[in-house]
Structure 1
Amino acid sequence: MLRKIMVVIDQGQDDQPALDKAIRLARVSGASLELVICDHNTYLEDGFYFDPPQARLLRQEHVERNRLLLEDMALVIRQQGFTVEVDALWGNPGYQKVIEKVLSDKPDLLIQSTRHHEKIARLLLSHQDWQLLRYCPCPLLLVKDQAWPEHPLLVAAVDPVHSNDKPADLDHQLTGVAHALAKLTHGDVKLFHSCYQAPVSGVYPLVVDKALYREKTADLLAAFAIADDALFISDEDVRHSLPVFLQQQGASVLVMGAVSRAAIDRFFVGSTAEKLLDRVDQDVLVVKPAGFTDKVKKARPENL
């Protein structure tokens, strides 16, 4: 159930696809909106160019300009009957401030625009959306530039054999989120699973039993009254087969899970999400397993 949607506003952009989709979801769910800008400028730090009192004053003025910008946007949206709050944040790294805001305000969904990243940036996880993938405790919708059709298709990437140490109930969580979002948007849901196994010898691919995977997914389909033909099982590498499937089906949203990896105060989204985000043209809705919020709260500030 959506009660509050937080939107990260993309500064300096005329188009705001994240806000557009947030408004569509708020319209059909009755959720309130919270618009957030997180900004930082090294020149306004104490002692860089200005003494601390002057730098503090300039930062306050800068943040106030951002807040007024958000208020102008909110005024237009409120006139359409929506409940809208705004907050202008200051800090570096920006994703940390956004996560702190999520933890304090507890939105049901965080939406942010994302664009193609250069390869080196992906490897270094230097972009804010990559960090949000790792740390955001609530569902995170990373939207691209494509508008949703009247009846969008949502594809949930499931793993019925729970490989890669996924929590056993995460598939139900992913399917439930996709099902609920499809209901709100008058869309449809399909499930995708890649049972690809790398060749043992490096030459001959393994033969997989797709019927076995369908059997393991039967309970999941039944739980959400999803037809058997809405499940697609591929024996090809997910990095290639899933983007092709999404394109062929005309999907609008990919719903996938992100799990924490056991390491000291560090969280990773798993190799699948990292490899797919830039390969797909669709929006990506990332869902963390239950209990992830508590792990974020316990993380050291410097790692957040």
Structure 2
Amino acid sequence: METLSKILVIIEPEQDSQLALDKAVRLARESGAELELLICDHNPYLEDGYYFDPLQARQLREEHVANHRQLLEEMATVIRAQGFTVSVDALWGNPPYKRIIDKVLKSGPDLLVQSSRHHEKISRLLLSHQDWQLLRYCPCPLLLVKDKPWPAHPVFVVAVDPTHVNDKPAELDNQLTAAGQKFAELTTGELHIFHSCYQPPVSGLYPVKVDLELYKQKTADILSNFSLSDEQLHIEEAEVKKSLPALLERLDASVLVMGAVSRSALDRFLVGSTAERLLDKVHQDVLVLKPEGFRDTVKKAMPTSL
């Protein structure tokens, strides 16, 4: 993330607290980025033939979207008075995440910010929630905001994979670290690097001895490229699903930065495994980036065309 000139923020009209907007405003204040506020939702009661004939349903949908646009304009007026450049848009989408991705492709933001809340396990398995879909298909960096405010000097932890055992493109580690460093600079925060070198026991019984020095050598380029100290590197021998949440708590971190990579020949992004298992485990915000070039293939990656 070399620049941060435009931030798209998903507004939840039914929520009193707009922590995603608060954090986007903080980033915009320090970067000079313009803000775009978006409400995109869908109500099945307003579909043609559900309760209303097509003409009535269309009129009600238009009124619904117009009310949201008016709400956004009221919010934008307050933010503009503080010196920010703010635009607004309200959309009707079924499902909403597809319209949001379409908006990202047309608007070209450097960052999409959305609130994320705890999901029940069955919902995660069925991938029915909007944030799971955005994790897979959003072509720009995506910041999923939890309910934890940022302190004056937030801590950002970047999860890297220098061994590339998970087929992660080598450049993605640098991309992730650069994004973490950018956010840390904008918020006068701290940056830390995490890697789990966990090796499953042989035959499920005999522990594998890990050469920590070897893993430090593999991360040496990252430390050098971004002028980071050894104290900012955390190589853990435990499984990532245990060691990473534990590190985040020890550092009192605010944001976890991680990458999403393609897991199939169909270019379907299954953030997989790791990101999906961790999203509800950690209390921190999650910043997810795709490898360079995903924007050009996002429509092919979607299960159906936009």
Normalising by structure 2, report the TM-score: 0.97
| Match status 1:97 vs 2:93 | no
**Residue 147 of structure 2 corresponds to which residue in structure 1?**
145
Q: Deviations over 1:245-295 (max 9, x none)?
A: 000011111000011222435321121101100010111000110011111
Q: Report the Cα distance in structure 1 between the residues aligned to 2:118 and 2:11, rounded to whole angstroms.
A: 18
The change in CA–CA distance for 1:278 and 1:172 in structure 2 (over 3 A counts) is: same
What amino acid is aligned across from residue 93 of structure 2 in structure 1? G
- Secondary structure, counterpart of 1:24 in structure 2: helix
What amino acid is aligned across from residue 304 of structure 2 in structure 1? E
In the alignment, is the contact (CA less than 8 A) between 1:137 and 1:296 conserved in 2?
yes
**Residue 184 of structure 1 corresponds to which residue in structure 2?**
186
Q: Report the Cα distance in structure 2 between the residues aligned to 1:208 and 1:286, rounded to whole angstroms.
A: 28
In the alignment, is the contact (CA less than 8 A) between 1:265 and 1:303 conserved in 2?
no
**Residue 256 of structure 2 corresponds to which residue in structure 1?**
254
The Cα shift of 1:198 comes to 1.0
**Residue 241 of structure 1 corresponds to which residue in structure 2?**
243
Q: Report the Cα distance in structure 2 between the residues aligned to 1:207 and 1:182, rounded to whole angstroms.
A: 35
RMSD: 1.2
What amino acid is aligned across from residue 158 of structure 1 in structure 2? V
Q: Deviations over 1:207-247 (max 9, x none)?
A: 11110000011111000000012101001000011000000
The Cα shift of 1:156 comes to 0.2
Of residues 199, 202, 208, the one that matches 1:206 is 208
Structure 2: runs of 5 or more not aligned? none
In the alignment, is the contact (CA less than 8 A) between 2:137 and 2:302 conserved in 1?
no
The change in CA–CA distance for 1:263 and 1:92 in structure 2 (over 3 A counts) is: farther
The Cα shift of 1:52 comes to 1.3
For residues 122-141 of structure 1, what are the structure 2 equivalents within 5 Å? 122-141=124-143
Q: Report the Cα distance in structure 1 between the residues aligned to 2:107 and 2:241, rounded to whole angstroms.
A: 35
The change in CA–CA distance for 1:300 and 1:117 in structure 2 (over 3 A counts) is: closer
- Secondary structure, counterpart of 2:83 in structure 1: coil
The Cα shift of 1:163 comes to 1.3
In the alignment, is the contact (CA less than 8 A) between 1:266 and 1:303 conserved in 2?
no
Count of residue pairs the alignment pairs up: 304
| Match status 1:30 vs 2:32 | yes
Q: Report the Cα distance in structure 1 between the residues aligned to 2:196 and 2:176, rounded to whole angstroms.
A: 16
Q: Report the Cα distance in structure 2 between the residues aligned to 1:300 and 1:240, rounded to whole angstroms.
A: 31
Q: Report the Cα distance in structure 2 between the residues aligned to 1:174 and 1:300, rounded to whole angstroms.
A: 23
